[in-house]
A and B are shown apart, each in its own frame.
Chain A
Amino acid sequence: MHLTVKPVLCITDKRTPSCDMTFLVFWQSEQSGYYCLFNDFDEAPLRCWTETQSGELSDKRTVQSDFSYWMTDDDIQSLLAVVRVEVLRMDTDDRRRRRRTRHVWDIL
């Protein structure tokens, strides 16, 4: 089972505190079968496919922290593939840290 999610990194900051994105999920298996796609937000699958070797889904979502997509077969305990989407927060709640610009040659 091969599972691909794009993008896998979403960046937030003070002006954009959450990611409003469409995640394109693609999976492919060597064998046809019954497969379901889950994520961290719902106990129910986003979608299930029957007698299929591949599938694609576009998932529009607003997120503020890391989450995962994963595939199972008809046994939901069987984790066939998982992809983690990272939400990277570039700002900080510490105002000093956020407001301080570093020395002129600091680049990080």
Chain B
Amino acid sequence: MKTTSAVALLMLLASPPCFAEQASSNKPPSAGVSVVTQSGTAAAQGQAQAQPEESRWRLGIGLGYGLRSNPLVQSDDIPIFVDIDIAWFGERLFFDNGDFGLTLVDNEFVTASVVGRANSDRVFFGKTDTRFVTVDLAGQPLSQAAELTIPDRDYAVELGLELLADGRWGQLQLTAFHDVSGTHDGYEIHFDYGYGWRNQRWYIEPSFGLSYKSEDLNNYYWGVRPDESSDALPGYQAGSGVNAHARLALRYQINRRWAFALVGEFENLNDEAAASPIVADRDVLGYFAGFGYRF
């Protein structure tokens, strides 16, 4: 005890004045690990760095490798090497990776916005091939070789309402979009629910949902019009249907800027789309593994 008191006194004397208060309770050095327990937050004590004001911009880039299968016949899968994230959020207006929005309501229960976007079904039609075939898509032999071209489809500009909510129970997204570009004149109602778990650097988020596609929308993308049909490609009229999707995202935060991400996704095309002669596989599968950087 005497030794302890002597060392404490020496430290008190040797310490600068601002140390005095603490030094009186300091113990002499020991080989073991000492535990200091304090629960004051940096914000409460006002000494550590304050959080910077959030930028209206959100910029990021993901680099890695991934693939999304293409459900169309005579098509190539869609490779993914880069994912760019560009978003800007103003007071009410926002731009989020191709979506333009005007927020009408934003409270603790719901965020409601009018959103304009491009339809995502078009993406598959950019990776199709033209081939000469000797059998039709049903496997029946043709009298002579015929050129089989997957019909081209355009992007549709859609306008709709988006309802978002979140809480400890997860996050919910409900959207309804209608074509305003005269491309397919149809509409889509989309529902998605996700729940994320975090354990420090690790974050995992499964999500799933349904998308109702109206007859006009479904038929525009997955139907085959009479003027597009041939000996090799029979005409087809698609009705409305419901797509189902599920997704699992896993992320490891390396540091403030970098993260490693693994994503797997599954989408099941609706019956009407799956029955189309231009569809080879109703399941769309995809994955991506790579590194993300936040600016």
Partners in one complex: yes
A31 close to chain B: CB less than 8 A: no
**Chain B's interface: helix, strand, loop or mixed, by majority?**
strand
| Cβ A61 vs Cβ B38 within 8 A | yes
Contact flags A61-86 to B (C-beta < 8 A → 1, else 0): 11111111000001010000000001
Given contacts A96-B103, A101-B171, contact A65 B51 (CB under 8 A): yes
Give residues of chain B (188-247) contacting chain A, Cβ–Cβ below 8 Å.
192, 194, 198, 200-201, 203, 207, 245, 247
Nearest A residue to B120, CB-CB: A103
Give the interface segment out of B10-18, B134-142, B179-187.
B10-18
Given contacts A99-B171, A108-B261, contact A41 B83 (CB under 8 A): no
B143 close to chain A: CB less than 8 A: no
B7 close to chain A: CB less than 8 A: yes
| Cβ B48 vs Cβ A40 within 8 A | yes
Nearest A residue to B49, CB-CB: A66
Given contacts A11-B201, A36-B19, contact A107 B261 (CB under 8 A): yes
How many residues in B have their beta carbons less than 8 Å from beta carbons of A? Answer: 84
Nearest B residue to A62, CB-CB: B39
| Cβ A65 vs Cβ B245 within 8 A | no
Given contacts A11-B201, A45-B22, A108-B292, contact A64 B41 (CB under 8 A): yes
| A-binding residues in B (CB < 8 A) | 7, 10-11, 14-16, 18-19, 21-23, 26, 28-29, 33-43, 45, 47-51, 54, 58, 60-62, 64, 66, 68, 80, 83, 85, 87, 89, 94, 96-98, 101, 103, 106, 108, 111, 113, 120, 164-166, 168, 171, 173, 192, 194, 198, 200-201, 203, 207, 245, 247, 249, 253, 255-256, 259, 261, 263, 265, 267, 286, 288, 290, 292, 294
